[in-house]
Amino acid sequence: METKPPVPRAVLVGIQTPDVDDVAHEASLEELGRLVKTLGYEVVGSVSQKREGTGAASLLGAGKLEELAALTGGTGVVTSMATPPMTKARKRFEGAAESTRPAEPEPDAPARPEFVIVDHELSPSQIRNLERATGAQVLDRTGVIVEIFHRHANTREAKLQVEMARLKYVAPRLRESTTGGGRQQGPGAGESNLALDRRKIRDRLAELKTQLEAVQRDSDQRRSARRDQLRVALVGYTNAGKSSLMRALTGSQVLVQDKLFATLDTTVRTLQPETRPRVLVSDTVGFIKQLPHDLVASFRSTLSEALEASLLLFVVDASDPTYEAQLEVSRSVLREIGADSVPSRLVLNKMDRVDPARRAALLEKHPDAIMLSAHAPDDVSALRETIIAFFEAEMVDDVLVLPYAKQKLIGEIYESARVLSEEHDETGRVLKVRALPGAMARLRRSLAAG
């Protein structure tokens, strides 16, 4: 019987700066734990410390560093990377150290954590210092998010976007091999291994950029074809329930998982039951606190679904005590891409997990919010009616005359507008229609052409 490989074990590290209160600090560490579990690691402990900032060479103070090292089996000391000369005195000293070294742990003892995960973005030197002190591999919050995106990307566009962000993250953190790799022979002679690796990354980034631009041209054409259609984009914090709501509104089989970043690829489906004109619903990549800038930049094309939507639905997990901070993160990212001017509504999701007292408080604080559970059919039906009513308010009524010689345009009219009545006279079909002003103008141009 094949045995499964052991689950990697990790210790979380958090630094609480003066501008962060206890609740926000605990929430951030808990979220980091969920990110780590999404990676498939087991969280076996955590270390926190209050500090003025995160710029210290080893991040933690000496006492906390020793506490962390005790969990991972490290020395707790930031040793030098230089190999000391082996004098006779040093050989005698190291021989004595060998004889007094603690015995190896018993075979049945729990394995030491192999990873230290820090709830902040670290500099390359901070990562190296922590690794030397703990004897474990160190990842910062950005590295964890980039790795999750790398594992969850499915479409070609998402894979290209994530690889670009991953290489931009890795490049400044490359280091020379400790085995003393020197200069290259042959092509690129004279370059160190490190310089060669960095040049390869630059070349690969240029190649990825060219490929991504080609893929995004196709995406832009598809979005352009949908420009005059009614479009709703679901946006919000990761794991707020956007995909569940998407599934309920459209009947589509989009992936629904209780994991952070289960959805990376934008999905576009038709609102069901279908309306005339059709309403398209987009499910977008979730946001998170300290979302790496390179990922935001890489996913700018994907997020254009939000920029070009007629209505944004900000989906929030109302049962989460930090929902307001999560909402601000979502709005901040959308401001960064210029989507803050798009009309929006707040959707407080997962209300089935909220007690009556909290429901009343939420209603008082957000009187215009849509409160629902994505798993309650009546709630979803009410949201559907709200979406339709929003577009109805933007529509105008008009009369179109479709000559008998242009009957091939009847499909475009029914696709872009709601036909309220239809009559026939000697000139052709006389249609009373309701549509958005842009769609109406486009239909009139089609009728006038040729």
Q: What is the CATH code for 228-392?
A: 3.40.50.300
Looking at residue 193, what is its pLDDT? Answer: 80
Which H or E element spans position 435?
strand 428-435
pLDDT tens sequence across 65-101: 999 999 999 998 887 655 455 555 555 545 544 444 4
**What percent of the chain shows pLDDT beyond 90?**
43
Binding residues for GTP: 236-243, 261-265, 283-286, 349-352, 373-375
**Cα–chain-centroid distance for residue 345?**
21
HEC string for 296-340: HHHCHHHHHHHHCCCEEEEEEECCCCCHHHHHHHHHHHHHHCCCC
pLDDT tens sequence across 394-421: 899 999 999 998 989 998 898 889 999 9
Residue 291's contacts (CB-CB under 8 Å, 6 or more residues apart) are 145, 329, 333
The pTM of the full predicted model, rounded to 2 decimals, is 0.76
Q: What is the DSSP letter of 404?
A: G
Binding residues for Mg(2+): 243, 263
Mean pLDDT throughout 139-168?
85
**Cα–chain-centroid distance for residue 360?**
31
Looking at residue 368, what is its pLDDT? Answer: 94
User: Quick check: 20 pLDDT over 70?
Assistant: yes
Residue 184's contacts (CB-CB under 8 Å, 6 or more residues apart) are 190, 191, 192, 193, 196
394: tokens are 């933007």
| Whether CATH 3.40.50.11060 fits 9-77+111-148 | yes
Mean pLDDT throughout 340-365?
94
Looking at residue 103, what is its pLDDT? Answer: 46
Mean pLDDT throughout 47-72?
91
Residue pair 193/184 in contact (Cβ under 8 Å)? The answer is yes
Listed by start position, the domains of the chain span 9-77+111-148, 228-392, 395-448
d(CA 360, CA 119): 34
User: Quick check: 33 pLDDT over 90?
Assistant: yes
Binding residues: 236-243, 261-265, 283-286, 349-352, 373-375
